[in-house]
Structure 1
Amino acid sequence: MRKMPVAEYEKIGKFEVKRLVRSTGSSDLYECFDPDLETRVAIKVFNPKKRLLDALPYDLDNWRTRFMREVRILAQIDHPHVIAVRELSSIEGRPFYVMPFVETCLLYEIGTDPGVEGYAPELRSAPKATRIGVARSVELMVQLASALSAFHGRGMVHRDIKPGNVLLTRLHSGLVKLCDPGLMKAPESEESMSGYWVGTREYLAPEQRRNAAEVDARADVFALGVLGYRMMTGDLPSGVLSGPQEEADGVPDELNDLIMRMMSRKLKRRPAHALDVLKELGPIRAKLNRNRGA
């Protein structure tokens, strides 16, 4: 069994380290305390591991460039459903950036899936896979589509939409804060991993599995469709599907049709942009709210 990560620092700049939340191949995420504002913050420190450097043909400078691009992308996007950047600095030559601390993520609302690899040790306390209501699922999809439209409008593709990257200000009723655009494909970027797939396998569009460099906004649309299906049904889609209607009660026909088009293997069938998804979800959300008497 993997051990929980151990914090490397007691302080990061002026910030007091409370715990190491997560350690990934390229960075470490800390929960810290800001003594000036007397509030909790999250700090992401660039710290590429040997396993990452050995696995992919990119050197340390390339990964540093990717990290810096991530923070600058987030700093450019002022959106209520995208995590904000408060500060950029460095410690011992490693860049880090400071964000608001967000309490939880979608995994704690919809649970982890059996057979899916790669969950970090701190996520093992999340419940087993479960479904959530259709209205809540649609509300989360609306917020995510809105966040993604901010990226897509700049010609960017997130490429890693998954429950662990959907932060929530509160379980079961909180707002979305999309994070971790570390795998972002930016316009005319020379850093896309040609010949490799990047992202989380269960949410990858077919074209992203073939070559991560040759994707557009429709790859994110596919992932959002998978996430919508997962939230409503409690299961990841597999095999030949008729849509979430066959697995969950209360899914309107127009929502079932949208989810199926979003998950289509044929690019031309999918909505081309998150904004297109958002436009279709608006009336669906309104109808669900009217039916609930909201």
Structure 2
Amino acid sequence: MPSLDVTSTAISRTHSPDLIPGYRLESLVGAGGMGEVHKATQLSLGRTVAVKLLSQQLAQEESFVARFQKEAAALATLRHPNIVSIVDKGSTVSTYYLVMEFVDGPSLRERMRVPQEDSQDTLRVMLQICRAIEYAHGRGVIHRDLKPENILFDEQAGDIPKVTDFGLASFLEDTSTRFALTGTHMAMGTLSYMAPEQRVDAKNADGRADIFALGLILYEMLVGELPAGSFEPPSRRKPKLDPRLDGIIANCLKQQPADRYATVSDLIRDLEPLAPHYYTTMRPAKLSRMQRVGRAVRKGVRVFMQGVAALLVLSAMGMWGIRYWHITHKRVPMTPGDAITGDLGLPDALESAGRLTIVENEPRKVTLGEGNDKPSLLVSGRPLKIEDKKFIFPAVGGQSRVGLVRVDVPGMRGDTARLSARVNAQSNEPTFPETLAHVVLDAPPPDAQVALMLMTTDPSQKRYVALVYSGAGFPIRLEWSLGEKQGTMLGPDSPNGPVELELSVDEEGALIASLGTKGDKRPILEPLQLGTNWQERRFGGAPISAIGCIEGTCQAESFSYQVKPAPPKPPGAVQASAPARVETPRPVAPTPAKRPPPKPAPAPKGKRSK
């Protein structure tokens, strides 16, 4: 059987305009595996049509001629506003042809190349495609090759989508051999949009194969790419989408046909309530001239009333503007780590339920929330509340917008460390002056941020590492200020809180920021190389763990900080090679045979050695 590749089967030479009796070929629209599609004029009616010519090479193959005739037979039985209708068919000395209505508009593939923000319009299109396939299935025809390229938009008819290319369709109830072109254990269709059972045995694939393709197309329209493997639900990829779409698409994309929707009607029943009624037929019509004038008048009245309201508050705007300017200049600096480690005043001491494990040469650990050991906390800036094992910085007004709680447990020395907590941050509802300033001055208040931190015990130095969460949709960021080593890294966009954050330092001094629980924990940023002996070199001693809050309401729970010494190396052991790092490895102690000579005695006090 000849290949279906376009380059080998498409007609390559120019055709005479009067090749088809009664029609004049105008221009080539496209080429496919079975031949070419031309824009043409039907001379008897003077209307524009599409003429599909079977490749001359394929016209010599009886099986392909039968397949071409099959497409005509399939289309001839279908009369639906969302299906391209057939006008005529026939043959010439050199080829076979099929005449269809001409759809002067882009394909769904072309539409999808421009990102669409309106999910309601996407549902409008998908409902009409589903109704076309529902109608075809009711007539005993399945499409078998549904894909964005086979869906065209008729812009003159109200921008409605129309399904075309039923060349691979098979009749559900026709058991004759007239159209039996798909053999057992033979796959037909486009691989990317093909149901699993269709890839193995296309002849026995029923209408649920089309439902699988509809699910793929809907996911791609909403998200912008085809799902693969254990794909993420669309509402996670696009948070603005209705979560009910997740279940609808999941039911379409079940691997086993029996687990999918039984019919397209069942799919439509679940999909239709998610879109406004006017989206179920066609896009809303353009406004008339009088409607546009009426809308402009209403807009003018609304602007006038807004101006009157603005005049009523002008006397207060000066005071509110000064107050807002004062607040914004006292609020968070650009770097959250600098804000949290700034001067927040004298701390207050609190005790919290928790557990302490501090044994010499053993892992040292402090947890908060449960236990009888009562670890000490130092709270600076905003007040802290402890409720139901949660540490909460509630929303506040006035000047104090930053809060810090440090876990005051000394002696947390070790070569490795792990700091983790479940955190969340929510912005406050803006006050009326803030809302007014936002609208008039374009000065929105800062967003809430919560940080998991390691920081020095010396208040005169700003040495810290902070993993900052700013709420859903904002990137997680890692900030550090460790003497000469300073910087910021931005990670992926955050999910909805609360989220599990973790900072860990391995035996070679690589600090890794992670997101998620044990079963789904993953690094989100490049490792920050602190080097060996990182506590002394970077923090000037054993750092303390802390939680910082900026703006809004912040909370943390399941707080845990653990350090432990690296296991001693056996005598004579040689350090294994490791990938190149910024920091040098821990030096190996010299052997007795190469011990350096003793240093000379220090000079007498008060004299300078020469």
Q: How high is the TM-score relative to the length of structure 1?
A: 0.82
Q: Secondary structure at the match of 1:213?
A: helix
Match of residue 118 from structure 1: none
Match of residue 20 from structure 1: 28
Counterpart CA distance in 1 for 2:75 and 2:239 is 37
Counterpart CA distance in 1 for 2:118 and 2:199 is 30
Counterpart CA distance in 2 for 1:63 and 1:71 is 13
Q: CA deviation at 1:166?
A: 0.2
Q: CA deviation at 1:47?
A: 2.0
Match of residue 106 from structure 1: 108
Given candidates 34, 40, 47, the residue that maps to 1:39 is 47
Residues 239-278 of structure 1 deviation map (CA, whole Å, 9 limit, x = unaligned): 2123211222432122221011101112222112212212
Superposition pairs of residues 76-155 of structure 1, within 5 angstroms: 76-92=77-93, 94-103=95-104, 104-111=106-113, 130-131=115-116, 133-155=118-140
Taking a change above 3 Å as real, the CA distance of residues 35 and 156 of structure 1, as seen in their structure-2 partners, is closer
Superposition pairs of residues 196-275 of structure 1, within 5 angstroms: 196-275=186-265
Residues 57-108 of structure 1 deviation map (CA, whole Å, 9 limit, x = unaligned): xx81121112112112111111110111111222225331211111221111
Counterpart CA distance in 2 for 1:134 and 1:49 is 44
Contact 2:120 2:276 in 1 (8 A): no
Q: Secondary structure at the match of 2:275?
A: helix
Unaligned runs of 5+ in 2: 1-6, 285-610
Counterpart CA distance in 1 for 2:89 and 2:98 is 4
Greater share of residues in helix: 1
Counterpart CA distance in 2 for 1:44 and 1:180 is 10
1:163 aligns with 2:122: no
State, as a whole percentage, how many aligned pairs show the same letter. 27
Contact 1:133 1:232 in 2 (8 A): no
Counterpart CA distance in 1 for 2:15 and 2:129 is 33
Residues 187-220 of structure 1 deviation map (CA, whole Å, 9 limit, x = unaligned): 3253223222111111111111112112011100
Aligned residues: 265
> Counterpart amino acid of 1:259?
I
Counterpart CA distance in 1 for 2:98 and 2:252 is 34
Match of residue 368 from structure 2: none
Counterpart CA distance in 2 for 1:176 and 1:79 is 11
Contact 1:6 1:20 in 2 (8 A): no
Q: Secondary structure at the match of 1:227?
A: helix
Q: CA deviation at 1:133?
A: 2.7
Counterpart CA distance in 2 for 1:170 and 1:249 is 31
Residues 25-82 of structure 1 deviation map (CA, whole Å, 9 limit, x = unaligned): 22221111223322221011222646xx9xxxxx811211121121121111111101
Given candidates 27, 38, 42, the residue that maps to 1:30 is 38
Of stretches 254-263 and 217-226 in structure 1, the one that deviates more from structure 2 is: 254-263
Q: CA deviation at 1:287?
A: 7.7
Counterpart CA distance in 1 for 2:78 and 2:16 is 29
Counterpart CA distance in 2 for 1:38 and 1:153 is 34
Contact 1:5 1:23 in 2 (8 A): no
Greater share of residues in strand: 2
Q: CA deviation at 1:131?
A: 4.6
Contact 1:105 1:163 in 2 (8 A): yes
Q: CA deviation at 1:6?
A: 4.9
Contact 2:11 2:55 in 1 (8 A): no
Q: Over alpha carbons, which structure has the higher Rg?
A: 2
Match of residue 123 from structure 1: none
Match of residue 274 from structure 2: 284
Contact 2:56 2:95 in 1 (8 A): no
RMSD of Structure 2 on Structure 1 (CA)? 2.6
Counterpart CA distance in 2 for 1:238 and 1:26 is 29
Taking a change above 3 Å as real, the CA distance of residues 192 and 147 of structure 1, as seen in their structure-2 partners, is same
1:10 aligns with 2:5: no
Q: Secondary structure at the match of 1:86?
A: strand
Q: CA deviation at 1:286?
A: 3.1
Contact 2:112 2:221 in 1 (8 A): yes
Taking a change above 3 Å as real, the CA distance of residues 24 and 48 of structure 1, as seen in their structure-2 partners, is farther
RCO higher in structure (CA 8 A, sep ≥6) = 1
Unaligned runs of 5+ in 1: 54-58, 112-126
Counterpart CA distance in 1 for 2:139 and 2:44 is 34
